[in-house]
Structures are given as structure tokens and as C-alpha cells.
């Protein structure tokens, strides 16, 4: 089984993170969700820029999921 192409960095209580999760479920592409509060390094790296969306290991965006852009890039 292959790893999901999308990684979503979140933190509990983040309403933008909840929105991002809902959009990713709507898209139907598998994704891995990572809680940044479980790692000091992740907290330092992402801080208040969450949610952060990675596609194929590269940062695709933060704060909001750009659905149309993400779908286009997933098709490549």
C-alpha cells in the first residue's frame, strides 16, 4: 500500500484545520493528518501557519485549502 500524497499539519481546536479536513474528505483523496502539538520541532516549524498542506512532501499551501488548485495538482 502506498503512502497518501497529502499530509495535513493541524492542531486541536483549530477551526481552519477542521475546514481543511472537511474539504479533503470532500475531495476523497486519502491524507495523513499530523497534530503539530505532538512535536516541538513541528510546533516551531509551523506555529500559527496551520493548517499546512503538503503534496508529495512539498508545501502546497497553508491556512486554507485551495480546492481547485489542489485537484489540478493531484491530476498531474
**In the chain, domain spans:** 6-63
Question: For the stretch 9-34, what's the b/e string if a residue is b when 16 or more beta carbons lie within 10 angstroms of its beta carbon?
Answer: bbbeebeebeebbebbeeeeeebeeb
pLDDT at 3 (0 to 100): 81
**pTM of the predicted structure, to 2 decimals:** 0.92
Tell me which CATH homologous superfamily contains domain 6-63: Glutaredoxin (3.40.30.10)
pLDDT tens-digit profile, the chain (76 residues): 678 999 999 999 999 999 999 999 999 999 999 999 999 999 999 999 999 999 999 999 999 999 999 999 999 8
Amino acid at each position: 500500500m502506498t503512502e497518501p500524497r497529502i499530509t495535513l499539519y493541524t492542531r486541536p481546536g483549530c477551526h481552519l484545520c477542521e475546514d481543511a479536513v472537511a474539504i479533503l474528505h470532500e475531495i476523497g483523496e486519502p491524507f495523513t493528518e499530523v497534530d503539530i502539538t505532538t512535536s516541538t520541532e513541528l510546533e516551531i516549524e509551523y506555529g500559527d501557519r496551520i493548517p499546512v498542506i503538503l503534496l508529495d512532501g512539498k508545501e502546497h499551501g497553508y491556512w486554507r485549502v485551495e480546492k481547485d488548485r489542489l485537484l489540478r495538482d493531484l491530476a498531474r
